Amino acid sequence: MTVEGTTAERIVIENAAVAAVDAAGTEYETGYVVVAGNLIESVGAGAAPAVEGVTRRIDATGHLVTPGLVNTHHHFYQWLTRGLAQDSNLFAWLVELYPTWARIDEPMVHAAASGSLAMLARGGVTTAMDHHYVFPRGAGDLLGAEIRAAAELGVRFTAARGSMDLGRSAGGLPPDFAVESTERALLATESAVDTHHDPSFGSMLRIAVAPCSPFSVSTELLREAAVLARSKGVRLHTHGSETVEEEKFCHETFGMGPTDYFESTGWLGDDVWMAHCVHMNDADIAAFARTGTGVAHCPSSNARLAAGIARVPDMLAAGVPVGLGVDGSASNESGELHTELRNALLINRLRGGEKALTARQALRLGTYGGAQVLGRAAEIGSLEAGKLADLVLWRLDGIGHASIADPVAALVFGPPAPVTLSLVNGLPVVENGHLTRADEDTLAALTRTEARRLAEIAGLR
Ligand SMILES: Nc1nc2[nH]c(O)nc2c(=O)[nH]1
């Protein structure tokens, strides 16, 4: 089985430690992975089988091979507004940044998306998502710009067409000039799905429907967006239960907490995933588990904005699908997912004790868990024959990791490991720490230029 448009390469990776992140938690101290075209052909212990037509053979001694990391929440455009509003909670941070974000345009979003994707990819992310929710009039094709950037770098991508229609004059948090009309948001979202969404096995591009948050979106938009997504068979994404301020807003405005509000608008289901989910009581977690609603856990952003600590161990125990997200780069300047594996483990232990989350659970959140919440667990997220060849070869014999005997512990507890090879759909996206399809220094210069242009237009300089 191969997906049209991919090569018929056969790559043999041997002498690696293997963490398959399959249902049985299979690991091999020394093993192999064989890739044929865009698919994993076989995974096993010991020496690789003799196979015909090998186009590349990799001696991966000193490496760990894992499924590619999956990022489940981001706002790429924020790459141009990093390091601002440094000591603010979510609402103060948003109020400070909305006016600048309302000045973005297509070249800025393309540069920001390229920078964000480069950072993710060089750190082992093979599937990215972006939640873009600011669409100034006349700004150009912003969703198209990030879709282009993902295709240029070769990263598998879910573009979540976000929206805001609840301006300050109608009781929302964003200024009126930063929101769209309900009708325009719905029409543009439908058009994005019709134009770009590819539901096929092995798809490199999916679209999700993603109104922004309870305090920036009308009840009508939430309800209609859910109806639209279900009529098109695409997934739903939003921010939920992020802060105490959001909880207070929901109680004061709707007479109920965020999870009950989402349920009342059709927003719980196995086709929905929400970012953050920090302020969830037992009943909220049970509702997510009962309905199969997924969570994008963003520990660094939650710490940066002092939002709190999500109850990830309780969610996992209840059977809630949980993945990891870096969140937008204005609330997590690091922008790479290894930090989220590590912080998920460390921060959840601060709340739940030393057994709250293990290194293997953290790796699972960043791979299979992410695949689950993006609705792609049958295709990616584990190393199994027949799945897509999205995998990462982490170098663990360097100074940062060599003295740690357990390779999964080295990866999660240790510093970000160098990526020797990252394959997406069987094709190299990173080789020896460098992007194969773009020059990092050129991208860095481009993001600096566009960040300066935005700062000037927005009156920050
Ligand atoms: N962390 C974030 N939370 C948000 N809520 C909202 O409405 N927008 C954002 C955001 O950009 N980041």
CATH of the domain at 36: 2.30.40.10
329 and 366 housed in the same domain = yes
246 and 365 housed in the same domain = yes
Per-residue confidence (pLDDT) for residue 8, from 0 to 100: 75
429 occurs within a structural domain: yes
184 occurs within a structural domain: yes
List CB contacts of 299: < 8 A, sequence separation 6 or more.
309, 310, 324, 340, 343, 344, 347, 348
- Residue with tokens 């873009």, as numbered in its chain: 132
Ligand 1 atom, smallest distance to 298 CA: 1
334 and 361 housed in the same domain = yes
CATH of the domain at 332: 3.20.20.140
| Domain end residue (candidates: 354, 373, 392) | 373
142 occurs within a structural domain: yes
1 occurs within a structural domain: no
3 occurs within a structural domain: no
SS3 at position 238: strand
Ligand 1 atom, smallest distance to 276 CA: 1
How many angstroms does the Cα of residue 216 sit away from the middle of ligand 1? 10
- Residue with tokens 């049209």, as numbered in its chain: 4
Ligand 1 atom, smallest distance to 301 CA: 1
- Residue with tokens 């089988």, as numbered in its chain: 49
CA-derived radius of gyration, the chain: 21
124 and 262 housed in the same domain = yes
Atom 11 of ligand 1, nearest CA residue: 328
List CB contacts of 400: < 8 A, sequence separation 6 or more.
414, 415, 417
Contact 246 CB / ligand 1 (< 6 Å) = no
SS3 at position 272: strand
| Domain end residue (candidates: 320, 338, 373) | 373
How far does Cα 244 stand from its chain's mean position? 24
54 and 84 housed in the same domain = no
| Domain end residue (candidates: 324, 346, 373) | 373
102 occurs within a structural domain: yes
33 and 120 housed in the same domain = no
286 and 142 housed in the same domain = yes
Task: Give which of 207, 208, 268, 271 is closest to 241, Cα–Cα.
Answer: 268
Which residues does residue 66 pair with via DSSP β-bridges, in sequence order?
392
Domain of 25 in residue numbering reads as 10-68+382-435
Strands (E), 364-447: 391-395, 419-424, 427-431, 434-435
SS3 at position 80: helix
Could you give the number of structural domains in the chain? 2
Cβ distance 233 to 269 under 8 Å?
no
List CB contacts of 157: < 8 A, sequence separation 6 or more.
127, 128, 129, 130, 146, 147, 150, 151, 204, 205, 206
How many angstroms does the Cα of residue 94 sit away from the middle of ligand 1? 7
Rounded to whole angstroms, how far apart are CA atoms 330 and 339?
15
94 and 223 housed in the same domain = yes
Per-residue confidence (pLDDT) for residue 4, from 0 to 100: 40
Per-residue confidence (pLDDT) for residue 106, from 0 to 100: 98
**Per-residue pLDDT for the chain (461 aa), expressed as one digit of tens each?**
333 434 479 999 999 999 999 999 999 999 999 999 999 999 999 999 999 999 999 999 999 999 999 999 999 999 999 999 999 999 999 999 999 999 999 999 999 999 999 999 999 999 999 999 999 999 999 999 999 999 999 999 999 999 999 999 999 999 999 999 999 999 999 999 999 999 999 999 999 999 999 999 999 999 999 999 999 999 999 999 999 999 999 999 999 999 999 999 999 999 999 999 999 999 999 999 999 999 999 999 999 999 999 999 999 999 999 999 999 999 999 999 999 999 999 999 999 999 999 999 999 999 999 999 999 999 999 999 999 999 999 999 999 999 999 999 999 999 999 999 999 999 999 999 999 999 999 999 999 999 999 999 999 98
Rounded to whole angstroms, how far apart are CA atoms 385 and 366?
20
Contact 212 CB / ligand 1 (< 6 Å) = yes
Ligand 1 atom, smallest distance to 212 CA: 7
Pocket test for ligand 1, best of 72, 75, 173 (most atoms within 8 A of CB): 75
The alpha carbon dihedral of 449, 454, 457, 459 has a sign of: negative
How many angstroms does the Cα of residue 457 sit away from the middle of ligand 1? 22
End-to-end CA distance of the chain: 55
399 occurs within a structural domain: yes
SS3 at position 267: coil
Widest CA span in the chain: 69
Rounded to whole angstroms, how far apart are CA atoms 42 and 84?
47
Contact 174 CB / ligand 1 (< 6 Å) = no
295 and 233 housed in the same domain = yes
The CA–CA distances, whole Å, from 59 to 17, 37, 255, 264, 426 equal: 11, 19, 61, 55, 17
Which residues does residue 235 pair with via DSSP β-bridges, in sequence order?
208
Indicate the pairing of strand 69-70 with strand 125-132.
parallel
340 occurs within a structural domain: yes
CA angle at 359 for the pair 155 and 396, rounded to the nearest 5°: 65
324 and 423 housed in the same domain = no
